[in-house]
């Protein structure tokens, strides 16, 4: 009898302990909210590019020879027509003299052939020479005329080549590169050797950015651009898209397109060749209503409703949810652009408090609360079972 009484007492105490544990771990659902606000929103793409002058000219030479004088150096400011280098003129001058001599000989031959032609023409008209002799005299005269024209062109070419021995600046600008030194021999064969590179205006620069094929569809001329360079990490430079080039470049199976971006450089901080980290704003809206993007993905779950809560839904492709008393009420909205974090909406008033997400909170002994996800397995109890299932089994065993 005493043993039965002790067993009943132990069972009662266990049941009370289970009930206390169950009551101490009552769960409830909490909802996070955010307000519909007026903000500026934009979408953008990023890329890298290279800074270069808008106008850059490579100065070369069309004749071969030895560089006898160089009058400029790196960073020299030059003006159009200014002499910047000279080649040795000895051989070029000899070629001009030779061409002039050949022209003189051709001219003398022409004078003789003309006199001979005039004489044969007079005799032919009097019937004193045959037609064949007259035609030969005329042919000799015509060939002498052609030879003079050839020699005149040779003289002009030799004079032009002599002029090419003087290298002048084709534009106003700054010398970026000097490829030769005095005494160096340059040979003009199939390609023109580059002697200098001159930038027209270093206050007017541009960025050539490589845009991935997945992003090029959103790039348009006139779009705002910001970029930074490693040389000035705290400075943000601005410009605009001035050209979207149609030619594609493929490297390592990656297709990119070149986009030209203006880069004003009044303070001359930007230098040719710097790498620019570019942000192109493909779409911008100012003063529009936005909500956190996750608010558009939220929907109340009937399984998490309390007994006195209900869902009031509506028709619409995109919805925002608000609390109307204890009810969940849907508001149909139209969405616009999104930057991933926030999305433009219409059909709702500014200041409306919308639900963005929910969390399940367990109230434990001692007033502590613990957030939990209802879709994740709960902690295990002393019987190595899930907490929710363990409580149910303990209650069933106590009832039995």
Tens of pLDDT, residues 293-329: 999 999 988 887 877 888 999 998 999 999 988 889 9
DSSP state of 367: G
Weakest-pLDDT range from 18-22, 51-55, 343-347, 366-370: 18-22
**For helices 387-399 and 2-24, what crossing angle results, to 10°?**
150
Distances (CA, A) of 106 to 97, 113, 156, 330: 14, 10, 15, 101
pLDDT, residue 394, reads 38
61: closest CA among 175, 193, 163, 185? Answer: 193
Give residues with Cβ within 8 angstroms of 399, minimum separation 6.
none
Give residues with Cβ within 8 angstroms of 193, minimum separation 6.
60, 61, 179, 180, 186, 187
How much is the pTM?
0.67
Order of strands, sheet of 369-372, starting from the edge strand that comes earlier in the sequence: 27-35, 353-363, 369-372
Order of strands, sheet of 194-199, starting from the edge strand that comes earlier in the sequence: 56-60, 194-199, 173-178, 77-78
**SS3 category, 101:** helix
pLDDT band for 175, please (50, 70, 90 cuts): very high
How many CB atoms sit inside 10 A of residue 80's CB? 12
Express each pLDDT in 203-228 by its tens digit.
999 999 999 999 999 999 999 999 99
Instruction: Give the highest mean pLDDT range of 111-115, 283-287, 359-363.
Output: 111-115
Q: Which residue has the tokens 């040389």?
A: 231
Residue 388 has pLDDT above 50, yes or no: no
Is there a contact between 210 and 47 (Cβ–Cβ < 8 Å)?
Answer: yes
Is there a contact between 196 and 18 (Cβ–Cβ < 8 Å)?
Answer: no
Spatial separation of the C-alpha atoms in residues 158 and 103, rounded to whole Å: 12
pLDDT band for 27, please (50, 70, 90 cuts): low
| Bridge partners, residue 215, by sequence | none
Is there a contact between 112 and 97 (Cβ–Cβ < 8 Å)?
Answer: no
Give residues with Cβ within 8 angstroms of 191, minimum separation 6.
none
Q: Name all domains of the chain by residue range, CATH numbers in brackets.
A: 90-164 (1.10.287.470)
pLDDT band for 348, please (50, 70, 90 cuts): very high
Give residues with Cβ within 8 angstroms of 183, minimum separation 6.
66, 67
Tokens for 84, please give them. Answer: 């910047």
Is there a contact between 353 and 35 (Cβ–Cβ < 8 Å)?
Answer: yes
Instruction: Say which residue, 26 or 86, is predicted with more confidence.
Output: 86
| Bridge partners, residue 169, by sequence | none
Spatial separation of the C-alpha atoms in residues 45 and 48, rounded to whole Å: 11
Instruction: Say which residue, 17 or 216, is predicted with more confidence.
Output: 216
Provide the CA 86 distance to its chain's centre, in angstroms.
41
For residue 106, the surrounding DSSP H or E stretch is helix 90-125
Tokens for 77, please give them. Answer: 């400011």
What percent of the chain has a predicted confidence (pLDDT) above 90? Answer: 71
**SS3 category, 140:** helix
**Between the CA atoms of 276, 277, 283 and 284, what dihedral angle is there, to the nearest 10 degrees?**
-90
Give residues with Cβ within 8 angstroms of 136, minimum separation 6.
none
Is the CA virtual torsion 122, 126, 130, 132 positive or negative? positive
């Amino acid at each position: 009898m005493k043993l039965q009484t002790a067993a009943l007492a132990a069972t009662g105490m266990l049941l009370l302990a289970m009930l206390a544990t169950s009551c101490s771990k009552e769960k409830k659902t909490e909802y996070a909210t955010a307000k519909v606000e007026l903000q500026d929103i934009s979408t953008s793409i990023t890329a890298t590019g290279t800074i270069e002058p808008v106008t850059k000219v490579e100065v070369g030479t069309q004749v071969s020879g030895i560089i006898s004088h160089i009058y400029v150096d790196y960073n020299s400011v030059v003006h159009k027509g200014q002499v910047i280098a000279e080649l040795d003129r000895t051989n070029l001058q000899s070629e001009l003299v030779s061409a002039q001599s050949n022209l003189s000989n051709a001219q003398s031959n022409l004078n003789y052939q003309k006199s001979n032609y005039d004489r044969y023409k007079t005799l032919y008209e009097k019937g004193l020479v045959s037609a064949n002799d007259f035609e030969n005299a005329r042919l000799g005269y015509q060939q002498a005329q052609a030879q003079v024209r050839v020699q005149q062109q040779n003289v002009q070419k030799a004079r032009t080549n002599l002029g090419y021995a003087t290298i002048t600046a084709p534009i106003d600008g700054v010398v970026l590169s000097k490829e030769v030194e005095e005494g160096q021999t340059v040979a003009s064969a199939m390609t023109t050797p580059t002697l200098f590179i001159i930038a027209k205006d270093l206050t007017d620069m541009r960025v050539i950015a490589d845009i991935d094929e997945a992003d090029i569809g959103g790039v348009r001329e006139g779009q705002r651009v910001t970029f930074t360079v490693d040389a000035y990490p705290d400075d943000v430079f601005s410009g605009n898209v001035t050209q979207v080039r149609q030619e594609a470049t493929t490297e390592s199976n990656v297709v990119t397109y070149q986009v030209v971006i203006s880069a004003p450089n009044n303070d001359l901080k930007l230098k040719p060749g710097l790498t620019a980290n570019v942000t192109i704003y493909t779409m911008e809206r100012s003063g529009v209503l936005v909500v956190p993007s996750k608010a558009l993905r939220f929907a109340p779950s009937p399984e998490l409703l309390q007994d006195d809560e209900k869902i009031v839904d509506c028709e619409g492709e995109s919805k925002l949810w608000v609390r109307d008393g204890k009810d969940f009420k849907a508001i149909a909205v139209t969405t616009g652009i999104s930057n991933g974090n926030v999305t433009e909406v219409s059909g709702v008033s500014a200041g409306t408090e919308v639900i963005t997400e929910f969390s399940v909170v367990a109230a434990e002994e001692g007033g502590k609360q613990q957030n939990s996800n209802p879709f994740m397995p709960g902690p295990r109890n002393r019987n190595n079972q899930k907490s929710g299932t363990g409580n149910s089994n303990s209650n069933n065993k106590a009832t039995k």
